[in-house]
Amino acid sequence: MSITLTHTDIVHELHEKITLQTAQVGVVGLGYVGLPLLNAFINAGFNTIGFDVDPNKISQLQSGSSYIKHIPSEWISRWLRDERFSATSDMSRLREADVVIICVPTPLNESRDPDLSYIESTARSISEHLRPGQLVVLESTTYPGTTRDVLLPILSKSGLTLGKDYFVAYSPEREDPGNVDFSTTRIPKVVGGVDVASRDLAASLYGNVVVDTVPVSSCEVAEACKILENTYRSVNIAMVNELKVLFTKIGIDIWEVIDAAKTKPFGYQAFYPGPGLGGHC
């Protein structure tokens, strides 16, 4: 006899799976963000599925080989041996996951506008296979409003009801590849949901794997948080490089200036001259 779960039943069942680490976690996009995130969930006791459209990545992972320096092949071989991980390009397997985390790139196009095509194509794949009792989390760096205005309309085409059948949250990735002091699990996660249930489910999920979670009032706040973090860093890197050029022209050692300035115990964070802003996001 089939039983139709109520809204409360669906939330409770998913929350229980997350709490007990029996939820299957799917990660879409197996790059420098997605693969370390999978590692964190596996180490926390979750079973995982990794999705990527690149057949070369899938082939390497299925053979136990890594293409990311700080994720050793030995780890991947262990995941496979312990049956905690599988890699696939078959998006129909999205239906197997209780949680789907989107970690696809958002590069700038030729006109320097955000290219959301990877998010959109991933959302379409999820929508085609969405089922009741799933949590979808977007981690890709993007502008405020993307989750609500771009992701949700595509997911709604599934015919399921948001906040009743499925749940959606945003949690900006903060990965610093190869940083031994601040690896994935040592970086707090900001979490915003399209509703309270979505936020709380996502916060509970990440609470299993990271040092701290920071719930905020909305997806837009979480999205804006990442923009602020990146803008702060970008502006300060640009400023210190400009000051390096200026101070060199008037015979002042910028390094000595920075060393002096950083003795101030408040209101100042040291940035150093370098090749300029880098990294994906």
- The reported pLDDT for the residue numbered 3 is 45
Beta bridge mates, 215: 191
| C-beta atoms surrounding 215 within 10 Å | 20
**Cα-to-chain-centroid distance, residue 122:** 14
User: CATH homologous superfamily for 7-219?
Assistant: NAD(P)-binding Rossmann-like Domain (3.40.50.720)
The pLDDT value given to residue 7? 62
Active-site pick, 103, 219, 225, 281: 281
Q: Which residues contact 70 (CB under 8 A, 6 or more apart)?
A: 36, 177, 178
Q: What is the pLDDT of residue 1?
A: 37
Instruction: Spell out the domain ranges in the chain.
Output: 7-219
CB 28 within 8 A of CB 89: no
pLDDT tens column, 207-244: 999 999 999 999 999 999 999 999 999 999 999 999 99
Q: Dihedral sign for Cα 216, 221, 227, 228, please.
A: negative
Count helices and strands in the chain by DSSP H and E runs:
10, 8
Q: Distance between CA 34 and CA 101 in Å, rounded?
A: 9
Clarify whether 281 is annotated catalytic.
Answer: yes
Residues of the chain with confidence (pLDDT) below 70: 1-7, 279-281
Rounded Cα distance between 118 and 30, Å, is 13
Helix residue ranges per DSSP H, the chain: 7-19, 34-43, 55-62, 73-81, 117-129, 146, 152-155, 196-207, 219-249, 254-261
Q: Which of 141, 162, 142 is nearest to 152 (CA)?
A: 162
Coil, strand or helix: which one is 193? strand
